[in-house]
């Protein structure tokens, strides 16, 4: 029998706010930019996991943030929300640090660590619109609630800031005449159970949110007036024409991630979701295809045993060679004599010694191990290959899962668990500084925008909140990102609901391979008739310079001339966004200047495909704060909870109301908590 003393989550804290007990204040959630600018980092995935773990272990957790949504650089936006995010970054570049009045609140035996007001994690933002821009004054987003006239830089504007430089060419984005709602896409319905859905059977959540589920689909109705009314038409390209007006109207169908990742089916994050029962708050879909780009063509890679033997790309000899090598990779640690002599060379060179054909070497290196051709050692490659094979078959024919409605759902799921166990969230709230006691050298409080003190014992701060003085010795890497909206898949098949991952190898020395993730409309990340494509690589230049060559290989920009002609071979590019994102995942805590011992630093997203780094970081920091506590244990069953008092508290009623399964989920879906083990 588990006895839990329920806490009142609606408690009004006195001023100064003092959180009794072993309290944790999350400053990655700690904002320091006022609501008007609203560009500071907020709840990322590591911080959200730590918050859930601390709240579950009985601590009082307070999140303070200047933003109005969850996720930080892990967030997902509707299309209009993304345009507003771009505008905020442009405005953020014009922020001038005013005389800090909070200095008057610092006592003689205290000193302050000022927090930065500018977000410098996003740079070199460039937006291009290739779709027909037949906008009118009455164009607005379907299903939108509150609206503001938030016009993004027009095609003739020359005032774009360096941090959000919208291009001024003819194809540049011009949305000055359309209304853009400023709110972020709401989180998914908490009452839905986490399922892994078959990719052809998933529909909208019935209870998700009114602004997502109440919209009539207009992707087929809102076509150009030049398109024939008859459903059967010989000019297929005209029939499928998608305009910028449609994208705006269907903007809430989009859930665009700032960071592009997938979940390994046996990765740390999946294990944590199942262990903590946070899996009830989200749904997932299988990645259906793993692709390769070779000799100018996109082709599907066989990875499971069935795929290998059904493949027409491989000869019978190649199939046997591949199966023999993959079997060895699953057990390579038991046969050290077969690879010890090759530990000092790259995995690419090692593959050449294994009697594999060039075709097989390419598939293994770029589509199975997904490692660098020049930088990954033999051990790295074997380990990555084994991990890939180990994850096969748990939920589908590929090792990967993707959360419905985008990666931004994951931080919200853990925030939900934190709130269920008493965590308090205070968004749109500015924090000015950390207050450090000179005698003990520890942080004792924060001062917010109203001059109030919030007292705590532990402070968790996301890297981007620190000022240049604190980070003067920190060296950051950068991630190049691109987000594209296209009209069809890079590899056309009988089904238009494919979710694919593709690796395009680097062609120049010093460059990095580009990871491409293509999402269809059944992932709830784009409107019907379009695909959302994410490109990611480690930066060597600006994002556009790094990624545009790959975009040109895979896609062709939309033009009116092409619409009049025959259908082009490549998918048409309708809209594109390029930006660089800071990668602080490898920064040591010792690199920051004079941080108190009870201030813990969380990094932003890294460039890796999976989320293991975020989970490892969260668990390590949690163990420092609560060394004797279990990390994210499962919540007790509702019938095992004994409540103090006569009335049912909000947390208990909520947790008991959460169903174990979603009756709306398609019959062929697989519950994440009870995966089917591979039959191989």
Give residue-wise pLDDT tens across range 381-427. Answer: 999 999 999 999 899 889 999 999 999 999 999 999 999 999 988 88
Question: What is the distance between the alpha carbons of residues 169 and 648, in angstroms, rounded to a whole number?
Answer: 61
Radius of gyration of the chain (CA): 26
* Inside any domain, residue 61: yes
Q: Across the chain, what does the average pLDDT equal?
A: 76
Residue 429, domain CATH: 3.50.50.60
Tokens linked to 102: 């909070």
Question: What is the distance between the alpha carbons of residues 144 and 212, in angstroms, rounded to a whole number?
Answer: 9
Question: What is the distance between the alpha carbons of residues 121 and 130, in angstroms, rounded to a whole number?
Answer: 27
- Own/partner contacts of 169-175, CB < 8 Å, gap of 24 or more, are 169/128, 171/128, 171/129, 171/130, 171/557, 172/127, 172/128, 172/129, 173/83, 173/127, 173/128, 173/129, 173/575, 174/129, 174/133, 174/135, 175/83, 175/135, 175/151, 175/248
Q: Which helix (H) or strand (E) holds 562?
A: helix 560-564
Give tens-digit pLDDT for 343-371: 899 999 999 999 899 999 999 999 999 99
> How many domains would you assign to the chain?
1
Q: Which of 115-124, 180-189, 330-339 shows the lowest mean pLDDT across its residues?
A: 180-189
Helices 612-625 and 268-276 pack at an angle, to 10 degrees, of: 50
* Inside any domain, residue 60: yes
pLDDT at 425: 87
Question: What is the distance between the alpha carbons of residues 613 and 585, in angstroms, rounded to a whole number?
Answer: 8
pLDDT at 561: 57
Residue 135 pLDDT exceeds 60:
no
Cβ proximity of 92 and 125 under 8 Å: no
SS3 label, residue 431: strand
Burial label, 207 (beta-carbon count in 10 A; 0-12, 13-18, 19+) = middle
Question: What is the distance between the alpha carbons of residues 95 and 98, in angstroms, rounded to a whole number?
Answer: 9
Name the pLDDT band for 138 (thresholds 50, 70, 90).
low
Cβ proximity of 320 and 230 under 8 Å: no
Residue 415: closest CA among 121, 58, 61: 61
* Inside any domain, residue 654: no
* DSSP state, residue 370: -
When comparing pLDDT for 330 and 184, which is higher? Answer: 330
pLDDT at 155: 34
H-type alpha helices, 566-649: 612-625
Q: Which of 114-123, 588-597, 655-664, 667-676 shows the lowest mean pLDDT across its residues?
A: 655-664
Number of helices followed by number of strands (H, E) in the chain: 16, 28
pLDDT at 665: 37
pTM of the model: 0.78
Residue 159 pLDDT exceeds 90:
no
* Inside any domain, residue 591: yes
* Inside any domain, residue 661: no
Cβ proximity of 537 and 515 under 8 Å: yes
Helices 409-420 and 650-657 pack at an angle, to 10 degrees, of: 130
* Inside any domain, residue 530: no
* Residues spanned by the domain of 65: 37-92+99-118+406-473+585-625
* Inside any domain, residue 494: no
Give tens-digit pLDDT for 296-306: 899 999 877 78
Residue 191 pLDDT exceeds 80:
no
Tokens linked to 97: 């640090």
* Inside any domain, residue 455: yes
């Amino acid at each position: 029998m588990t006895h839990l003393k329920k806490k009142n989550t609606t408690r009004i804290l006195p001023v100064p706010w003092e959180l009794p007990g072993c309290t944790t204040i999350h400053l990655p959630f700690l904002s320091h930019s006022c609501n008007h600018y609203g560009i500071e980092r907020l709840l990322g995935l590591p911080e959200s996991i730590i918050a859930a773990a601390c709240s579950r272990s009985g601590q009082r957790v307070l999140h303070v943030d200047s933003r109005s949504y969850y996720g930080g650089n892990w967030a997902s936006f509707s299309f209009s929300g993304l345009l507003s995010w771009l505008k905020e970054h442009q405005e953020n570049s014009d922020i001038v640090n005013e005389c800090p009045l909070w200095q008057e609140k610092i006592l003689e035996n205290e000193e302050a660590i000022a927090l930065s007001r500018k977000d410098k994690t996003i740079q070199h933002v460039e937006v291009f619109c290739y779709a027909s821009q037949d906008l009118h004054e009455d164009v607005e987003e379907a299903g939108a609630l509150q609206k503001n006239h938030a016009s993004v830089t027009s095609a003739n504007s020359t005032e774009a800031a360096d941090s959000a430089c919208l291009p001024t060419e003819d194809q540049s984005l011009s949305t000055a005449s359309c209304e853009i709602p400023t709110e972020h896409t709401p989180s998914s319905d908490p009452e839905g159970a986490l399922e892994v859905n078959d990719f052809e059977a998933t529909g909208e959540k019935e209870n998700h949110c009114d602004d997502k589920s109440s919209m009539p689909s207009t992707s087929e109705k809102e076509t150009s007036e030049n398109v024939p009314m008859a459903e059967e038409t010989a000019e297929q390209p005209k029939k499928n024409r998608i305009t910028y007006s449609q994208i705006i109207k269907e903007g809430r169908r989009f859930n665009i991630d700032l960071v592009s990742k997938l979940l390994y089916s046996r990765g740390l994050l999946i294990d944590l979701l199942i262990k903590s029962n946070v899996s009830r708050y989200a749904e997932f879909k299988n990645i259906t295809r793993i692709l390769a780009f070779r000799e100018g063509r996109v082709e599907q890679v066989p990875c499971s045993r069935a795929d290998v033997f059904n493949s027409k790309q491989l000869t019978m000899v190649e199939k046997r060679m591949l199966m023999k090598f993959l079997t060895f990779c699953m057990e390579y640690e038991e046969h050290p004599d077969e690879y010890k002599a090759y530990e000092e060379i790259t995995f690419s060179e090692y593959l050449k010694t294994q009697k594999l054909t060039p075709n097989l070497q390419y598939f293994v290196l770029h589509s199975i191990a997904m490692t660098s051709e020049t930088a990954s050692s033999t051990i790295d490659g074997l380990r990555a290959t084994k991990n890939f094979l180990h994850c096969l078959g748990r939920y589908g024919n590929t090792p990967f899962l993707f959360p419905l409605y985008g990666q931004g759902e994951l931080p919200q799921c853990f925030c939900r668990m934190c709130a269920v166990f008493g965590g308090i969230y205070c968004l749109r709230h500015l924090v000015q500084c950390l207050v450090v006691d000179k005698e003990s050298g520890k942080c004792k409080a924060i001062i917010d925008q109203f001059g109030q003190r919030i007292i705590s014992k532990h402070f968790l701060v996301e890297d981007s909140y620190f000022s240049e003085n604190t980070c003067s010795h920190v060296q950051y890497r950068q991630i190049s990102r691109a987000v594209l909206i296209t009209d069809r898949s890079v590899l056309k098949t009988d089904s238009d609901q494919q979710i694919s991952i593709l690796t395009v190898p680097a062609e120049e020395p010093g460059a990095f391979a580009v990871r491409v993730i293509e999402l269809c409309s059944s992932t709830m990340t784009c409107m019907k008739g379009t695909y959302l494509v994410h490109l990611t690589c480690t930066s060597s230049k600006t994002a556009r310079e790094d990624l545009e060559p790959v975009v040109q290989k895979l896609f062709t920009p939309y033009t009116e001339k092409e619409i009049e002609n025959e259908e082009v071979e490549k998918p048409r590019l309708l809209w594109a966004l390029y930006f660089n994102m800071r990668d602080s995942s490898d920064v040591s805590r010792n690199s920051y200047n004079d941080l108190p011992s009870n201030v813990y630093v969380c990094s932003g997203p890294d460039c890796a495909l999976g989320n293991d780094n975020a989970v490892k970081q969260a668990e390590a920091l949690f163990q420092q704060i609560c060394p004797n506590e279990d990390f994210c244990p499962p919540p007790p069953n509702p019938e095992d909870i004994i409540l103090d008092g006569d009335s049912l508290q909000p947390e208990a009623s909520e947790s008991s109301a959460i169903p174990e399964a979603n009756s709306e989920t398609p019959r062929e879906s697989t519950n994440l908590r009870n995966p089917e083990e591979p039959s191989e």
